[in-house]
Amino acid sequence: MNPILLFLTLAIKAYSMPMLVTDQAEHRILLMNLPSGELIREWRAADIPEHHRK
């Protein structure tokens, strides 16, 4: 697990709800269930068709 995501998981330990997390280094958005760290959904910039990118 990414160290930043691990930190977020520990910092928000009291909550058990989905959270959107952005990862600029990997150009992606994650929908995660915290504090378990379970990945619900992931979107990557590369997944967007070329004609929709700007």
Reported as a single tens digit per residue, the pLDDT across 16-44 is: 678 888 888 989 999 998 778 889 999 99
pLDDT of residue 6 exceeding 70: no
Check residue 40 and give its pLDDT. 93
Look at residue 17 in the predicted model and tell me its pLDDT.
Answer: 79
How many other C-beta atoms can be found within 10 angstroms of the C-beta atom of residue 40?
11
Tokens 């967007």 correspond to what residue?
48
Neighbour order of strands in the sheet with 28-34: 17-23, 28-34, 38-44
> The whole model's pTM is what?
0.58
- Work out the pLDDT band at 51, boundaries 50, 70, 90: confident
Range 14-35 burial, b when 16+ CB lie within 10 A, else e? eeeeeeebeeeeeeeebebebb
